[in-house]
Structure 1
């Protein structure tokens, strides 16, 4: 006698129909949406708010030629010339020394620190000398960025602004002794797309009183086989209730007057 277990037959009643197996659908739309989101989260985009300054940054200036802030192995801050780019092409860092990491100081809204790839902080003294060799944060390593029409300006603790200064040999030098914000003090900052601050979705506009009532009925009506039943009472009472902040209560009362609804009791 075979020891193999015999699977019991399924109990079938007269008149039962065979159930067809459902084929699994491939979610091409969701896959395409995910691919699009992944593409949108790649690369570098222009920072246009203070919240965008948290994370890896690429700080450039539209001088002639354009430059970007770069650190070297000796923790010196340099104005490195950018290569020529095709039209409508955004600049991106090509070496890790061109990436500066921004962080908001705890308990503040407008105070930031900026750290190089070697872990040293960007700072400036009262004479405007900019360095990037500090391992700890003090007042000289604090910056207050400001959003302007031309770009982002960086103010130090002494009230002076970071600037790009052209020197005699045709190069550029980074200083922090500008009194006001002008062209030389306005930087173009880029952040990684995946770290860019996403604004909260705007609140939906309030529906008219009648439309809001119908939407409420569709959501909560437990009878009528899908048919919408509304009261014939004047909608002006509903508008008045909305102004007084009791719209939900008024809609419940109006539903209760149409017919018995278990969710109205």
Structure 2
């Protein structure tokens, strides 16, 4: 498979172009859909109930990053990552291979390891999990194209495995080494849209609610009172649009001198 640059593209629609009739292909399409559905079901069973996502909306909650066949990215206690051993058919990822995906914008996610740290990259493009909050370097953009998926980092490069099975992001194009699968547990993937809408997490709600969620989570509460930054909320709205929302919240919390991660 030749290397290719991933891009968000779509079919051009020319003015006056007539849409071709698809009635004759309906029977073949139904058969193809049935085959594809069976293949997806077999794939889920093979991976212990973990489904490979094919849309951004599915990327929330517990996820695992798969390279190759049934081998997942594994968090280490030193803040680095490696590739775990391949699993047998029917086995899902191990606990240390499970990350938590949190949507931070319409196109980007943050990833948190089982050690409670956010995944980012350093100045050399090495993937690390050592951040206590989501800044610009802890945001990832899943790129889908031609049925394949690659993960774009904050430095504009795609995540890949090195020869020693560590993770880095130093390639501007996505070739075979950068192609991954992100898997979610079947129950999470099949969760109804109504249930998803009802389930709140730290990053859901308006900017005021999200900031309050994080203050409650990290504030030390010496005097049993919640301390919120008194600055304008419009700054948070602007920061969210610019992709530096969590970084701005961290800065606001640090000014209150009441946060266990802000000095």
The TM-score with structure 2 as length reference comes to 0.51
2:124 corresponds to 1:120: no
The alignment status of 1:54 with 2:51, answered yes or no, reads no
Q: Does 1:193 align with 2:186?
A: yes
Give the CA deviation at 1:193. 1.2
Q: Deviations over 1:158-217 (max 9, x none)?
A: 1111011223xxxx22111111011111111110112216798xxxxxxxxxxxxxxxxx
Aligned residues: 147
Q: Structure 2: state its 5+ residue gaps.
A: 1-44, 194-263
TM-score (norm 1): 0.51
State the match for 2:92 in structure 1. 92
- Equivalent residue in structure 2 for 1:69, among 51, 58, 73: 73
Indicate the structure (1 or 2) with the bigger Cα radius of gyration: 1
1:149: how far off? 3.5
Secondary structure, aligned partner of 2:177: coil
Aligned equivalents of 1:156, 1:83: Cα separation in 2: 27
Query: What residue in structure 2 maps to residue 148 of structure 1?
Result: 145
Gaps of 5+ in 1: 1-39, 201-265
**Aligned pair 1:158/2:155, yes or no?**
yes
Given that 1:150 and 1:183 are in contact with CA atoms closer than 8 Å, whether structure 2 keeps it comes out as no
Q: What RMSD in Å do the two structures reach over aligned CA positions?
A: 2.3
1:230 is matched with which residue?
none
Task: Report Cα offsets for 1:7-60 as digits up to 9, x if no partner.
Answer: xxxxxxxxxxxxxxxxxxxxxxxxxxxxxxxxx9x9321111111111100111
Q: Report the Cα distance in structure 2 between the residues aligned to 1:176 and 1:77, rounded to whole angstroms.
A: 13
Partners of 1:59 and 1:92 lie apart in 2 by 12
Report the secondary structure of 2:166's partner residue.
strand
- Aligned-partner Cα distance in 2 for 1:192–1:56: 7
C-alpha distance in 1 between matches for 2:161 and 2:56: 21
- The CA distance in 2 between the partners of 1:197 and 1:180, in whole Å, is 32
Whether contact under 8 Å (1:123, 1:132) holds in the other structure is yes
